[in-house]
Structure 1
Amino acid sequence: MRPLFLIPLLAALLALPAHARQVVTDPSLPRALPAEGPVSVEWTDPAQFSDLRFSSNRWEAQQGNWVTQLAQHLQQRAAARLPDGQRMDVTITDIQRAGRYEPGRSINFDHVRVMREIYPPRMTLNVRITDADGTVLAEGERQLSDMGYLQHSSPINNDNLRYEKRMIDDWLRRELPTAPRT
């Protein structure tokens, strides 16, 4: 008679919206954003990202569409900063989101990402910036990290990717400084 309690649980899981069950490692998902504007963003296999390879809760870490969300944020913010006529091509090769799933926590906390200073967000990108003629202005690997991500956090922002997005914004301010005002 004990297995009867599983029926409502399975029904609840099947009733979840489709996006809640999306996994970033699904090989049928695209690995690039649609080409729009001057910034293209693609990514390598998320199953090889540090966030999944070194996670103590791989199942929880691969849930959602966080890779696409970060790529969209990068594309939108870079397009707003890129000077007219220039193009930026970015390939995301690694992501380690802020925080970790810590082993040994009680069963009630095995799905909770714990934020500590020793778990900063990190990203590795391959970047190529060209001008209107196709001349390469900048090219190479960029390793992003925010070691003080908890020191300048906002209690108002409840975006699950706020630390990673702020790290991207900080890098873009350095990589694409705004033109001096005249």
Structure 2
Amino acid sequence: MRNKLVICGFAALLCSTIYSAELHSAEVEVKWQQPEKFTDIQPSNDNRKVYRERVMKKFDEFFQQLAAKLPEGYSWQVTVTDIDLAGDVDYFAGGAGNALRIVKDLYSPAIKFNHVLRDNFGEELLNEEEKLRDLGFMQTIGQNTNSNDFHYEQTMLQNWFNKVLLPKVEQHSAALPKVSQ
């Protein structure tokens, strides 16, 4: 009986955490501009369209995770215009028609996107084009231990978000007049 109560309590805590995260995050809309023409969303051993859709879904999730760090009421519109995944597909390395994605320093991840960020009053804070490339993606400590799909790309986006976008949002929030209660 006690185990059931602990499990129910944990489930309630988890649900309330998820619910509060949804309440305290920005809305994000991700659009894809001609993904079939992107520099590198090449599958190694998968259907091209299926793989492209998997990549797009994963990047949608990355942008959702980042938007969760923005203040409530903000809206963020992102249009992805190019992706170059870490590594390169070698169609001869796998032998017998099995391609492999080879990840080396030479094949760094990159992403290009346009984005518009609006505050909770609808005021446009940013309207910019970003061109990110992580040339040192293999030198970061702990990078090679994570086997998540598109880990290098996710880390590149997180680093940009934390170093560039969040400080701009915090600066804007600090400049707003304080409302007395």
Q: TM-score, normalised by structure 1?
A: 0.67
Among 105, 111, 114, which residue is 2:99 paired with?
A: 111
Q: Confirm or deny that 1:95 pairs with 2:93.
A: no
- Map of 1:22 onto structure 2: none
Q: Give the superposed CA RMSD.
A: 2.8
Bigger helix share: 2
- Map of 2:61 onto structure 1: 72
Percent identity, aligned pairs only?
27
User: Could you list the per-position Cα deviations for residues 39-62 of structure 1 after superposition, in whole angstroms to 9, with x for gaps in the alignment?
Assistant: 11121232111114xx59696665
Deviation at 1:139, TM superposition (A): 0.5
Q: Describe the SS at the equivalent of 1:50.
A: coil
- Tell whether the 8 Å contact from 2:33 to 2:81 is kept in structure 1 after alignment: yes
Alignment of 1:38-57 (within 5 A): 38-52=27-41
Question: 1:37, 1:131 → 2: CA distance?
Answer: 9
Question: 2:117, 2:149 → 1: CA distance?
Answer: 29
Q: TM-score, normalised by structure 2?
A: 0.67
Among 147, 159, 169, which residue is 2:135 paired with?
A: 147
Q: Describe the SS at the equivalent of 1:107.
A: coil
Q: Describe the SS at the equivalent of 1:119.
A: coil
Question: 1:51, 1:62 → 2: CA distance?
Answer: 13
Question: 1:86, 1:127 → 2: CA distance?
Answer: 13
Among 108, 126, 146, which residue is 1:157 paired with?
A: 146
Question: 2:43, 2:118 → 1: CA distance?
Answer: 40
Q: Describe the SS at the equivalent of 2:76.
A: strand
Going from structure 1 to structure 2, the CA distance change for 1:117 and 1:155 (only over 3 Å counts) comes to: closer
Deviation at 1:74, TM superposition (A): 1.3
- Tell whether the 8 Å contact from 1:101 to 1:110 is kept in structure 2 after alignment: no
- Map of 1:120 onto structure 2: 108
Alignment of 1:3-42 (within 5 A): 37-42=26-31
Going from structure 1 to structure 2, the CA distance change for 1:62 and 1:166 (only over 3 Å counts) comes to: farther
- Tell whether the 8 Å contact from 1:102 to 1:110 is kept in structure 2 after alignment: no
